[in-house]
Amino acid sequence: MPPDQGFLCDCGKPATIRQAWTDANPGRRFYRCGAAWRSVCDFFQWRDLEKPHGWQKTALLEARDVIRAQKETIKLLQEAAKEEPKTEADIAKEEGESSIEKLEKENIILRSELQASHQAEQTLRHFVLISWVGFICVVATVFHGLR
C-alpha cells in the first residue's frame, strides 16, 4: 500500500499522520491511532523510514527551538496587550461618556425644575387673576354702596 494512502490502525480507525519534534526525531512523520488524542489503541508506525541526521537534523532542531521561542513571545505579547494601560483615546472616550451621563442626569433634573416652575407660575397667575377679580368686586360694591 502506498504510504500516502494511509491505513487502518489496530482498532479499525484510519491511522493519522503526525510529526515528531523530539530531539532524536525532529520533523519525522509517523502513523498513530486515528481516534484523535484519546488514543484507543497503541498503534504506532514510522512513516519516514530514515531517521533525520546531519545538518538536516540540526536545522530542524534549531527551527523547532525558534518556533517555540516565537510562540512564547507571541503568548507574552498577547498577555501584555490584554493588560496594557488604556490609551489616551480610551481615557478621553470614557471621560466623554461619563460627562454625557452626568449632563443627561442634570438635564432631567433641570426639566423637572422647569416643570415645577411653570406650575408655580400658573398658580401665581391664577392667584393674581382671582385677586383682581376680588378687588374689582370690592371696589364695585364700595362704589355701589356710596351711590
The pLDDT, as a whole number, for residue 128 is 94
The pLDDT, as a whole number, for residue 25 is 83
For residue 121, give the amino acid letter.
E
The pLDDT, as a whole number, for residue 119 is 92
- In-domain check, residue 34: yes
Integer angstrom CA distances of residue 59 from 24, 65, 66, 70, 139: 13, 10, 10, 16, 117
> Which residues sit opposite 21 in a β-bridge?
26
- In-domain check, residue 39: yes
> Which residues sit opposite 45 in a β-bridge?
31
Instruction: Give me 126's grid cell.
Output: 391664577
- In-domain check, residue 43: yes
The pLDDT, as a whole number, for residue 70 is 93
Report H helices in 1-87: 54-83
- In-domain check, residue 146: no
What domain count does the chain have?
A: 1
- In-domain check, residue 3: no
Positions of the chain with pLDDT under 50:
1-3
36: left (phi over 0), alpha (psi -120 to 50) or beta: left
For residue 66, give the amino acid letter.
V
- In-domain check, residue 118: no
- In-domain check, residue 36: yes
Domain hosting 79: range is: 16-83
Integer angstrom CA distances of residue 1 from 8, 18, 129: 11, 18, 111
- In-domain check, residue 110: no
The pLDDT, as a whole number, for residue 35 is 67
